Structure 1
Amino acid sequence: MDAVLNPGAADRPVVQAKTPPAARQGAEPFAACPQFFAGGMSPVLHFQPLQRPLCFEAFAILHSGQTKTPVFVAQKLNRRSVANANEKRTDRFFADARLPRAERAELDDYRNSGYSRGHMAPAADMPNPTAMEQSFSLANTVPQSARHNGGAWAKVEQDTRQFAERAKGNVYVITGPVYVQGSKTVGENRVRVPDHLFKLVYDEAGHRAWAHWHANRDDAQAGPPISYPELVQRTGIEFLPGVGL
């Protein structure tokens, strides 16, 4: 497999097979919104500059000022939240003012780029009007192939909601981009275009996890999920440090 960049690292290649998961350094960065993480503990990854935690109504984001995209976006779904997720879609994207201008994507970066503004926490998961509005923050998006966004990836999102609707308890979902060395950028702010996207699903009641791993291409097809250890190996991120998998 090609050398893959840690989702938060814009320039430093990491060969995943030789990269052990990171250890937590310092305090829990998402102390203001631990509810989105299994066991109240957020993913542990190798430190990169310009990473900022952001808490929202229905999800949390670790944002990279290098890539101008999320490193990951975390959600907690369950039967009740899915039942409430019937909000009217707003489609009002906006640059997130909590991020310094030099670290964020702007609306013009996506205009005529050839890519969709792909949600990492899907709008269709949002349980109330505030959450729906917040999901259109560009901090929650990546440049995504339009066909993939509306096709194979939309099916993964739908299947995840359906699983959460049937699950006996909470389902924790972590979604994010992965880059290879030399990946493309769009716009004046050089927003990085992911080469792959992942969606990790952790079923708390069943104590099991799996991940979807898709190429960010028009012709991407849904394949079988990969295991949690395989996702950790590919990314170098310990996504579920609080559950003992």
Structure 2
Amino acid sequence: MNLRKVATGLSALALIFAVALQARSLHDLIKLPVKHDKQEYRSGSVSQREALALYSAKQKQDSFSACKDQFPAGKPLDIDRMPAKMKPMALCSDNFAVLYSKTSKTPMIVVERLSSAQLNDAKGEERTNAFYADPRIPSGARAELSDYRGQTPPVDRGHQAPAADAPNQKAMAQSFALSNMVPQDPTNNRKIWSKIESDVRKYVKRAGGNVFVFTGPIFDSGHAVIGKNKVWVPTRLFKLVYDENSQRAWAYILPNSETRIEKPMDYSNFVKATGLRLLESQVVSGSLHRS
């Protein structure tokens, strides 16, 4: 036996063993990324199967039973009192409720219950921009992504429940359903309406409790339509705010165009302008500005 070869072989084994021990030590010291089971919702296309998975079994039903908490006093809007020609249906998401129209292929009214705690959770939440057709609405009765493409003049997919109100990734994903969108003038959506949304959030953060926000389109005579599915383009948009603690309510109604923000109106003037009695069962004791 060649003792020199044996010694050399043993030295090589010792070296390999030492390297292995060192690698094990480094592995213990370095925290490697851990793969979580938590669902991620990122930018890009969303398939109908993936979109449907965003909603619970109760949220897939044509009912407000899964989102009563989004309405003042837990009393949802009465669908039976809505115009039958609008073919209304109820849609629930985690953090907002939609009274949807299968005629206009847009929401009619979107309701949110906001609080300082929710908006603190929403701060810094990544915006996904992953728009999708709502799979809970039958094809032909809903807007499709193609309806918004290549329009002249161009239109934005305008959120009614803002993405910036979403307190987590799933709520953010749900906010990009087209059932939460109306065709909106880009300047109006990105500047004027965005400023109103920001002002409402600032108020909610100062408020002492729940603030309910109703948002929706107004379709005056002669409104336009877009896309193969003839999605109605609102001529105006409204936002009604109700502070549950102070019982104050105020509203904005603005043209769907490049315009400027006007002073908010009180609830009685909002009802006269729209015919919508959205706080009929609530006590309204004042407006944003005390007289």
Same-fold status (TM-score > 0.5): yes
Contact 2:67 2:94 in 1 (8 A): no
2:205 to 165, 171, 187: 165
Q: Which has the higher strand share?
A: 1
Q: 1:224 maps to which residue? A: 263
1:112 to 150, 154, 161: 150
Give the deviation of 1:83 after TM superposition.
0.2
User: 1:36 & 1:242 partners in 2: Cα distance?
Assistant: 15
* Secondary structure of 1:101 counterpart: coil
1:234 to 273, 277, 286: 273
Give the deviation of 1:31 after TM superposition.
2.7
Q: 2:82 maps to which residue? A: 46
User: 2:83 & 2:74 partners in 1: Cα distance?
Assistant: 20
Q: For the aligned residues, what is the CA RMSD?
A: 1.2
- Does residue 180 of the first structure (1) align with residue 220 of the second (2)? yes
Higher relative contact order (CA 8 A, sep 6+): 1
Structure 2 spans left out of the alignment, 5+ residues? 1-62, 285-291
Give the deviation of 1:33 after TM superposition.
1.2
Give the deviation of 1:112 after TM superposition.
1.3
User: 1:118 & 1:48 partners in 2: Cα distance?
Assistant: 25
Contact 2:247 2:283 in 1 (8 A): no
Query: Aligned residues, how many?
Result: 216
- Does residue 62 of the first structure (1) align with residue 62 of the second (2)? no
Structure 1 spans left out of the alignment, 5+ residues? 1-28
Give the deviation of 1:230 after TM superposition.
1.6
Q: 2:129 maps to which residue? A: 91
Give the deviation of 1:30 after TM superposition.
2.0
Give the deviation of 1:160 after TM superposition.
0.5
Give the deviation of 1:102 after TM superposition.
1.4
Instruction: Return the TM-score normalized by structure 2.
Output: 0.72
Residues 232/42 of structure 1: CA separation in 2 closer, same or farther (3 Å cut) = farther
Tell me the percent identity. 43
Residues 46/54 of structure 1: CA separation in 2 closer, same or farther (3 Å cut) = closer
2:71 to 32, 37, 42: 37
Contact 1:210 1:228 in 2 (8 A): yes
Structure 1 runs of 4+ aligned residues shifted over 6 Å read none
Q: 1:204 maps to which residue? A: 244
Question: Which entry has the higher C-alpha Rg, 1 or 2?
Answer: 2
Q: 2:233 maps to which residue? A: 193
